Structure 1
Amino acid sequence: MKVLFLIVSLYFTVTINLLAQNKAATYRENLTNIVIDNKTSLHIISPEPIRYVDISTHKLVGDLPESHVVRLKLVHDSLDTQENNVADLGVVTIVGESFIAQYNLSYLNTIAQYNAVASFDILPHHTKPITNLPEITTKELHQHALSILNKRKSEPIRQSNNYGIRAELGAIYTVGDLVLLDITYYNATKLSYDMDELRFKIEDKKITKATNVQSIEIKPIWQLYPHKAFKKQHRNIYVFKKVTFPDNKILHIELSEKQISGRTITLKIKYRDILQADTF
């Protein structure tokens, strides 16, 4: 009787494990297949920035020409096109901020040129969610940044003027452990301002010649627009990981111009400004 009980228990254990494995596993036969030829580059387009790509064969080369695009191309002479009518090129794996997508890749020598896939969109049903998601994705940051721009501008929290350039801190928002700064630069001169570098540093409020200056530079993890030259106005949203600093220090924002005699303007933000930030 004990032997029978052990056999039944083992049977159910193995069955449950197999069912769990089948539920957790992704099999190649269930993956979407993409057929390419040896003359066309394949561009796979992601709905969000790509963090990782794996190509499982040396017969393909790939790169990321843009943050949302994977480009794949067959390596010349990697296949004998006279003898190999069909070739399995393995699996390409693409990981975004919130998903993983995998595709079977095949080479077909006899495929008509107009039937070769040139671009392919990653669709929701091709993807599998990643469990350890970031607190907020780039897509969500972009939506929050645009909503800030659409809000009615009130009196600036901080502002400064130099060389006909005015800097304004319009608003501060927080979402999760992130801080979003709404900063606008105005140009009252007739010369366009060619932005070179924007640096964010935590420094002492008061600096004397007798003291050593302690400066800690922090960098935004994301910004809405790239830096460029502007004639009248440049408004941008900068995102930082949560940062704390004592009351005797400030967040020093310095914008410099590309010219040799470039104009420089600084904007100083107090920690209490960040503590009074709005939230989404």
Structure 2
Amino acid sequence: MKRIVLAVMGLVALSAGANAQENTEAKKDSVKVRYIYTMQTDDNCMPGIERNHVIFINENVTTHVIMPENIKLVDMSTDKIVGNQCADNIVRIKPSARMRDHELVGTITVIGERHLAQYDVVYTAGPACANSIYRIQLDEMKRYKNPDVLMPESEMAAYAWAIYGSQPNYNNIHYTANGIRAVVNNIYTVNDYYFIDYSLYNRTKIKYDIDEVRIKLTDKKEAKATNSQTIELTPTYSLNSAHSFKKAYRNVIVLPKLTFPDEKVLRIEIAERQISGRVIYIPIEYEDILNADGFDKGLLRRLPFNINR
């Protein structure tokens, strides 16, 4: 009798073991493969990623990447990221479709006038975790040599704003006509550029509508029109984009360094939009250009804002 009971118990144990093995194999077959991304961070949106080197995107959010200088080129490593440059220093991107949460989509490289920055782009399933605006910080950019850009536009703007707020040092360059007085406040040299600061004062009750501002290198004496030679120059940067003023107007324009003979004069022409004949000329002698002051870079720290924000 004991032998029969032991035999039955053995069969039950073997059967249970076989069933357990079958259940284990079935569970293995039902387990789906999961991809684990091993980047490290404590961020709630994406554990394992340092957010200051990653841009998070979602199909319901347009991500705007803002660079402190003008953007020359944007490279996206995959067609899973779509976008375009919507302003001089702004590019907008989105994923082309829905993806896995925390999926590393690709990389984006933003190349500016003198710097470049590269980021990993990660998809997040939560729109609240996506970057709607990502501002590129200075410590995230790498500098490169660009022979076509001697000074980034953001740096020109910083100098121009500082000069705009400075006290006038010149008082011998002026012109008056039709109730408008034009004066040169300052001429500064910074690296390979001249910064010319000038003002217009309207003594009439009719506002002055600016049609265009032209800079010309022309002869002092134009005895014969056929012999006169005029060269038109294009400013590299202009601070004030206002098109009209009632009483006063001030602007800072930037020109590349230039030399010209004493027979020539650098002339700024401000023409009115209407057919009124009111055209203002500001003649600048070469001697005045040679006496341009070097600008104190320490004055940039006095600006009430950070030009790179």
| Change in CA separation of 1:279 and 1:106 when aligned onto 2, cut-off 3 Å | same
Counterpart among 290, 293, 303 of residue 278 in structure 1: 293
| Change in CA separation of 1:138 and 1:193 when aligned onto 2, cut-off 3 Å | same
For residues 182-238 of structure 1, the C-alpha deviation after alignment (integer angstroms, 9 at most, x for no partner) is 111111111111111000011111112363331111011012221321111111111
Tell me the percent identity. Answer: 39
Q: CA RMSD in A?
A: 2.4
| Matched-pair contact (CA < 8 Å) for 2:73–2:112 | yes
Which residue in 2 is equivalent to 1:102? 118
Counterpart among 128, 137, 149 of residue 114 in structure 1: 128
1-structure distance, mates of 2:86, 2:144? 24
Q: Which structure: greater strand fraction?
A: 1
Counterpart among 278, 292, 297 of residue 263 in structure 1: 278
Which residue in 2 is equivalent to 1:49? 70
1-structure distance, mates of 2:172, 2:77? 53
2-structure distance, mates of 1:262, 1:66? 36
Which residue in 2 is equivalent to 1:232? 247
SS at match of 1:260: coil
Which residue in 2 is equivalent to 1:39? 60
| Change in CA separation of 1:73 and 1:192 when aligned onto 2, cut-off 3 Å | farther
| Matched-pair contact (CA < 8 Å) for 1:89–1:105 | yes
User: Which amino acid in structure 1 is aligned with residue 208 of structure 2?
Assistant: Y
Which residue in 1 is equivalent to 2:109? 93
Which residue in 1 is equivalent to 2:7? none
| Matched-pair contact (CA < 8 Å) for 2:170–2:184 | no
| Change in CA separation of 1:218 and 1:131 when aligned onto 2, cut-off 3 Å | closer
Which residue in 2 is equivalent to 1:21? none
SS at match of 2:163: helix
For residues 91-143 of structure 1, the C-alpha deviation after alignment (integer angstroms, 9 at most, x for no partner) is 211122332111122334xx122222211121234222225585433333233
| Matched-pair contact (CA < 8 Å) for 2:170–2:186 | no
Task: Give the count of matched residue pairs.
Answer: 244
Which residue in 2 is equivalent to 1:123? 137
Shift in Å, 1:64 = 3.0
Shift in Å, 1:149 = 2.7
Which residue in 2 is equivalent to 1:170? 185
User: Which amino acid in structure 1 is aligned with residue 115 of structure 2?
Assistant: F
Alignment of 1:1-280 (within 5 A): 32-75=53-96, 79=97, 81=98, 84-85=99-100, 88-108=104-124, 111-131=125-145, 135-209=150-224, 211-261=226-276, 263-280=278-295
Q: Computing the radius of gyration over CA atoms, which structure comes out larger, 1 or 2?
A: 2
| Change in CA separation of 1:250 and 1:39 when aligned onto 2, cut-off 3 Å | same
2-structure distance, mates of 1:124, 1:150? 25
Shift in Å, 1:88 = 4.8
SS at match of 1:51: strand
Q: TM-score, normalised by structure 2?
A: 0.71
| Matched-pair contact (CA < 8 Å) for 1:254–1:265 | yes
2-structure distance, mates of 1:249, 1:125? 46
**Structure 1: gaps spanning 5 or more residues:** 1-28
| Change in CA separation of 1:259 and 1:149 when aligned onto 2, cut-off 3 Å | same
2-structure distance, mates of 1:180, 1:210? 31
1-structure distance, mates of 2:281, 2:225? 23
2-structure distance, mates of 1:211, 1:132? 41
2-structure distance, mates of 1:180, 1:249? 19
| Change in CA separation of 1:61 and 1:261 when aligned onto 2, cut-off 3 Å | farther
| Matched-pair contact (CA < 8 Å) for 1:157–1:170 | no
